[in-house]
Chain A
Amino acid sequence: MHLILFIIFAGFCLAGAINLLLQTHPINSALSLIVVMTSLAVLYLLLGAEFLAAAQIIVYSGAIMVLFTFVVMLLNAGREERTLGSRAALSVGFPSVVAILAVLSTIIIRAQGLGVARLGEGLTNDPEKSNMFQVSRVLFHELLLPFEVTSILILIAILGAVAIASPGHGYTGDDGERISHK
């Protein structure tokens, strides 16, 4: 059962990622990315991370991707024209990608002592042992200060996003005209 679920959702992940590369319209790429992220949530659930599976769906495939699709529709971004990319990408980028993938796969395949994941291993009714209990105990005892600091980070990010995206500031008008005529 675990193997079947893994194969199905890993296949969804890979298909979505490849579709993201092949599509030329940004909205199609965004929808493929939602497929990837939702399948990853299922894989987290298979690995016994219930809290992260829920957070992945809410934060990633919910909030972040809504933001992406909103911006794609707001800017009315059309089809991208295909170019071959820069010379640096061709000569350095793709060989390094292949090299990184080869090195990583070799290390992972030859690694000894990696365990197996069983279906429903971390799921329990015992409140002392559940994933949620462990996560919240560490998060709200040991790591309470970093957790609160991230809330300030998000507040600053919201203010920064509003300041950058609001019209009348930054890079509009005269300067933009000059650059577009150049």
Chain B
Amino acid sequence: MSSFAQEVPLSWYLLLSSVLFSLGVVGFLIKRNLITVFMSIELMLNAVNLSFVTFAHEWHAVKGQIFVFFVMMVAAAEAAVGLAIIIAVFRARATLSVDRINLMKL
């Protein structure tokens, strides 16, 4: 028991990552608010980051961690631009509901 409690199989981390990713996709589908849809995308990004770090640990490859670092930087830039777009949309349409923001819908 003591030796078992000291270590965790890496597949558990990967399972957690895939479950988090699926929850992010479900949130993307069921949420009706533009900001929470965006948050679900961030959740998916985080889930993928977790699997990157897990594989970096498995193969002792530090470049996997650096890839996560770059993903974080791009996510920061993406969040800034995305939230600016949300502010612009709210200013134009006075709503955040994705059902009413349908200008580009076919």
Contacts and interface: CB of A to CB of B under 8 A. Distances in A.
B15 A108 contact: yes
Chain A interface helix/strand/loop/mixed: helix
Contact of B19 (A21, A74, A101, A162): A101
Given A33-B39, A172-B92, A68 B83 contact: yes
Interface in B15-65: 15-16, 18-27, 29-33, 35-36, 38-40, 42-43, 46, 49-50, 53-54, 56-58, 62-63, 65
B73 A154 contact: yes
B72 A55 contact: yes
Contact of A97 (B29, B93, B99, B103): B29
Contacts of B23: 14, 17-18, 20-21
Interface in A123-147: 131, 134-135, 138-139, 143, 146
Interface residues of A, number: 89
Interface of B: 4-16, 18-27, 29-33, 35-36, 38-40, 42-43, 46, 49-50, 53-54, 56-58, 62-63, 65-66, 68-70, 72-81, 83-94, 96-97, 99, 103
Interface of A: 1-4, 6, 10, 13-14, 17-18, 20-21, 26, 29-30, 33, 36-37, 40, 43-44, 46-49, 51-52, 55-56, 59-60, 63-64, 67-68, 71-72, 74-75, 77, 80-83, 85, 89, 93-94, 97, 100-101, 104-105, 108-109, 111, 114-119, 122, 131, 134-135, 138-139, 143, 146, 150, 153-154, 156-158, 160-162, 164-165, 167, 170-172, 175-176, 179-180
